Structure 1
Amino acid sequence: MKRILPAALFALAAAWPAAAQESRPLRIGWVQAMANAPALIAEEKGYFREEGLNVELKGFGDGPVIQQAVAGGEIDVAYIGAPPVYQWAARGLEAKIIAKVNYGQAALIARADGSIQSLSDLKGKKLAGVNRGSGMDVLLRGLVLKETAGLDPDADLQLSQMPVGNMNAALDTGVVDAAFSWEPFISQSVLRGAGRVVFDVNAALPGYPWYVVAAPAKTLKERPDDLVKLLRANTKAIAFLREHPEEANRIIAKSFKLESVKAADGSVVPPEAIVAEARKRLGWSAAIEPTDRAFIQRLINYSVDLGILNKPLSVDDIIDDSFAAKAAAQH
């Protein structure tokens, strides 16, 4: 029997933590919205594996649930809206936005046979939105209702909170008159002839940023190389979405388990056509531009005005471009 020398044992012991660290999957939480398709594409096309990254994707219904998962140490990095990141910062949980994922996604829709033709018609009506304090809620109350429509969200209409997946049914049955939703739910309603887009945020603010890649301090410190690999995979996925739209649409439709819908004229709209319709209101980009910083600062200011944040913050305190710079340099 060959004897292992003490020096060899020491080398094995020293290597063990590094090996264990490498084998531990990077747990990625993502809001299950079509705008976060790069996470799905990177997994489906093997871009994470190409970068030598072992990942575990976990889908969540909205940003506030991911916030809880990050705080509880259940995930390492998130595809999430920008507002939860600055909300973490305000509560003392250090986290950084390290890349952008997409632009656009939100729209306010109303019953196609209803009386709501413009935002001003919302006065006195019932409107569905998501959880108060979430990114979409800040966008709805701050930009859409207060700034654009000149309405008081708490006094001029009935604003109810519900999961985005329930909004189309609520609209169809008259429980609400309008809904502030995201894709693919908007396109499903429009293509069925049940809903009508009253206000497309991306049409009003072309290219406004929404989902971002964000990581808490622990991940930033302990797994910087994995974050760089993640951003390279994210960039590849975005390029694929742009360069191969038809294949990408099929992957998205399958991943979201979209079903065909029947249009008002009786024709059948296939799942990939729902994705194509949704792409009229959203797109994908990884680089954080100066205009993106300005918009996120605008969201921060809305949150302060709405009483969701108890103190003002600077957007520069929640963005770290260094990981993206390293990913680009190694590309």
Structure 2
Amino acid sequence: MKHTAARLLLGALALLLAAAFPADRSRSEVTLEMAYMPIVPCSQLFVMEGMGWTKKAGINLKLTRFPNGPAIVQAIASGKMDMMCFGIGPAMVTRAKGVKLKVVAAGIVEQIAVIAQGDLVKYFEKYKGAEALRKFAADKGRKPKIASFPKGSVPDTVTRHWLLRQLKMDLDEVELIGMGAARVQQALLSRSVDAAGILEPILTIVEEKLKGAKVIARADEMMPNQPGSTIAVREEVLAKHRDAIVKFVELHIKATELLRSDPAKAAPYVKEFISKGLLETKLVEKALRSPSSNFRADPNSILESTKYMHDFQKSEKIKTNVSIDGLFDLTVYRDAVKNLKK
């Protein structure tokens, strides 16, 4: 009887200890609030989450979807979000606002292209660059309407660079309209705008669904080596959870390699995030194979192009408040690469 009572007591004590000290994975799990946009340049995140890599690594991401980078900047400025997948442009704006954050990984480069629809396509088939836009305006009696993300975003900045530096035009020769991703796509499909400086999957969706739509300028014609999406973290979060952030970047590198080597395998997971499963997997795979989907993880590879974009934004007063001072932490990527080689 005494032995039975002792066993019961030990069993109860074991249950209490299990409740007080959960399994190692639970004890080490880190919860982070992360902002993202439903676009191909954030595909690494979608692969990591969809394949369960983050959960397995003890990283519990609370994801919040935003329509564009400037909207994420507003959320960060109000004290929300620990991490974010957004463009280098908004990252510079956030840093300039006094928010302490670090870019720890790149996501994609040369991801912006200009897609046109309707009569504007015909003008670009007959004329080149600025001449096509000016002939269109002269014949139609109105400026070409070109959509993009809001002012200061990467798509907007690259589109302005194309017009100002590559085509040598004045901005008042076109009507540049800033809006969120879903609205850009809708504006093109409804033929409310003539063109858009935009990214995937919108480029592929519009080409597939809108008869006569065509890409009229690729990234290398707009701003060669343009930096795109990044992974950024608040400095206090990085200091507190550095091991988890390094692990996150390890997974980000792994996801980048998968996107580059096997888009077909990645496509179902990307589809769930960018369209909530509504797009066909084959269409998403096509977007991942697009000339505008140049996935890259190494932040060292975008240092020079980020400086160029920063200087352009400053000179053209696209965003008078942008900063690259202390923007990058290259040690996280360095340590992630070291860990992957072990």
Tell me if the contact between 1:36 and 1:211 (Cα under 8 Å) persists in the aligned partners. Answer: yes
- AA aligned opposite 2:271: A
* Corresponding residue to 1:29 among 4, 27, 35: 35
Alpha-carbon distance change, 221 to 274 in structure 1, aligned in 2, over 3 angstroms: closer
Q: In structure 1, the residue corresponding to 2:299 is in which secondary structure?
A: coil
CA distance 1:164–1:53, shift in 2 (3 Å): closer
1:302 — aligned with what? 312
Q: Which one of 146, 162, 172 corresponds to residue 127 of structure 1?
A: 146
Q: Which runs of 5+ in 1 are unaligned?
A: 3-12, 261-269
| Residue of structure 1 equivalent to 2:203 | 186
Q: How does 1:236-315 map to 2 (within 5 A)?
A: 236-257=254-275, 259=278, 270-280=280-290, 281-290=292-301, 292-310=302-320, 313=323, 315=324
Q: CA deviation at 1:51?
A: 2.3
Structure 2: segments with no counterpart, 5+ residues: 1-5, 10-19, 135-142
Contact 1:98 1:214 in 2 (8 A): yes
Residue number in structure 1 paired with 2:140 = none
Q: CA RMSD in A?
A: 2.9
Distance in 1 separating the partners of 2:46 and 2:271: 11
1:329 corresponding residue in structure 2: 338
- Partner of 1:137 in structure 2? 156
- How far the C-alpha of 1:297 sits from its partner, in A, is 0.7
Q: Which residue of 1 aligns with 2:45?
A: 39
In the alignment, structure 1 residue 162 sits paired with structure 2 residue 179: yes
Partners of 2:244 and 2:77 lie apart in 1 by 20
Question: Structure 1 324/277 Cα, relative in aligned 2: closer, same or farther at 3 Å?
Answer: closer
1:202/1:282 contact within 8 Å kept: no
Alpha carbons of 1:251 and 1:305: their partners in 2 closer, same or farther (altered >3 Å)? same
Q: Which amino acid aligns with 1:122?
A: L
Structure 1 residue 119 displacement after superposition: 3.0
**CA spacing shift, 1:152–1:91, aligned 2, 3 Å:** same
Percent identity of the aligned residues? 22
Distance of aligned partners of 1:171 and 1:309 in 2 relative to their CA distance in 1, 3 Å threshold: closer
CA–CA separation in structure 1 for the residues paired with 2:339 and 2:145:
51
Of residues 86, 89, 96, the one that matches 1:90 is: 96
What TM-score do you get using the length of structure 2 for normalisation? 0.80
Once the 2 structures are TM-superposed, how far is the Cα of residue 172 of structure 1 from its aligned partner?
4.0
Larger Rg: 2
